[in-house]
Amino acid sequence: MVNLKRYYFHSEQIGAQIRYSDSKVLNYLRFHLMSQKLLFIFTLIYCTSVLTMAQEKKTILIFGDSITAGYGLEKDQAFPAILQEKIDSVGLNYEVINGGLSGETSAGGARRINWVLQRKVDLMILELGGNDGLRGIDLTSTKQNLQTIIDRALEKNPDMEIIIAGMQVPPNLGIEYTQEFVNLYPDLAKENNLPLIPMILDKVGGYDEYMLADQIHPNAQGHKIVADTIWETLYPIIK
């Protein structure tokens, strides 16, 4: 004869086990779904953050000659790379482009600028004219070429910040030419209402320990000083 009391008790145990098992499955499914949702949300936030950073990243073009190019040195020793390190160290979202070309004159720069500006540039440091001086080129032409570069840059991006980097030439070119060259950059900066670095090779030019053997181009230590000199003008603009 069937023991109904025992049977019902046993049935209740089985039912409870089934309900407990179902509860575990449901809890697992809920946890799994919640994990997937959280993973999706975090992935979405991360991708949005990366995309925003990429969109907000600004560009600094250093448009110059062999000094910018880092003549005789590795690219990471030239002052544009050092400026990038300084920018990264303070958490600013800028990319520095080394637009230096050895032997470049102001005329060559005027021909090249449209090609370089195919990508968006937010700030340009103009470091050209030194080779014009070394070749004794008519400085009226040099000034016109530098003005052309400025005009084309602003046509491309009217909001572009431009910094003029001044140079000097050896006095053996004559007092009149040397003085005209010295005045070239301040005049250009004043006429265009642009910030000026009076002498990019300040504290470097004429010091053997900071120059290559040619006494024209800075060595690795010299480029660090050049970067410091530029940073004094650049940082207040981009911070």
Task: Check 89, 159, 208, 214 and give the catalytic one.
Answer: 214
Instruction: Specify the number of domains making up the chain.
Output: 2
User: Is the distance from CB of 152 to CB of 116 less than 8 angstroms?
Assistant: no
Task: Check 65, 106, 132, 217 and give the catalytic one.
Answer: 217
Residue 217 annotated as catalytic: yes
- Regarding predicted confidence, which is higher, 54 or 230? 230
Convert the pLDDT of each residue in 29-88 to its tens digit.
566 666 666 565 555 555 444 444 555 899 999 999 999 999 999 999 999 999 999 999
Number of C-alpha atoms within 13 angstroms, CB side, residue 74? 3
Residue with tokens 């098992």, as numbered in its chain: 21
pLDDT for 56: 80
Convert the pLDDT of each residue in 162-213 to its tens digit.
999 999 998 899 999 999 999 999 999 999 999 999 999 999 999 999 999 9
Q: What 3-state DSSP class applies to 123?
A: strand
Residues 36 and 72 reside in one and the same domain: no
Residue 66 annotated as catalytic: yes
Boundaries of domain holding 64 = 57-238
User: Is the distance from CB of 67 to CB of 104 less than 8 angstroms?
Assistant: no
User: Is the distance from CB of 227 to CB of 79 less than 8 angstroms?
Assistant: yes
Residues 88 and 108 reside in one and the same domain: yes
Taken as a whole, the chain contains a residue count of 239
Above pLDDT 70, what percent of the chain? 77
Q: How far apart are CA 72 and CA 219, in angstroms?
A: 8
Convert the pLDDT of each residue in 80-123 to its tens digit.
999 999 999 999 999 999 999 999 999 999 999 999 999 999 99
Task: Check 66, 106, 132, 223 and give the catalytic one.
Answer: 66
Residues 68 and 41 reside in one and the same domain: no
